[in-house]
Structure 1
Amino acid sequence: MLILSIETSCDETALSLIEAKGEFPTATYEIHADALWSQIDVHREYGGVFPALAKREHAAIIVPLLEKVM
């Protein structure tokens, strides 16, 4: 089974493509690809995370990250 995982925090977007082989609890897992985008440089001038900007950054970067892991 292939698993696409997507995680977003206040200022990071991460995706990974993982393959699970076998049955739980003895399954094995292999990471095929992963990608991470940090917004720290984008928010630095504000002295912290600016929520509206973070939302736009997540929306702008998620498809390019998906293309990278696929």
Structure 2
Amino acid sequence: ETGIAIYDDEKGLLANQLYSQVKLHADYGGVVPELASRDHVRKTVPLIQAALKESGLTAKNIDAVAYTA
């Protein structure tokens, strides 16, 4: 999965976008790390753009970024 969320400490969750890789890996019976990595890279920017649109914010409004790998 690739997920992007925008959270405001006063207003709470402003946006949540999620892309599933289940179909990508279905034929392999499990996660293929190289395919997963490429797919994360391919989907990250579009998900950020969608989350910003959903929240009504721009990148300039973002104060911090957190991620897991």
Normalising by structure 1, report the TM-score: 0.71
Structure of higher CA gyration radius = 1
Matched, 1:35 2:17: yes
1:7-61 alpha-carbon deviations (Å, 9 max, x no partner): xxxxx1111111112xxxxxxx511111001100000001110010000000000
Q: Structure 2, unaligned stretches of length 5 or more?
A: 53-69
| Number of equivalences | 52
> In the alignment, is residue 53 of structure 1 matched against residue 35 of structure 2?
yes
Structure with a larger share of its residues in helix: 2
The runs of 4+ residues in structure 1 deviating greater than 6 Å are none
CA RMSD, 1 decimal = 0.9
Report the TM-score when normalising by structure 2: 0.72
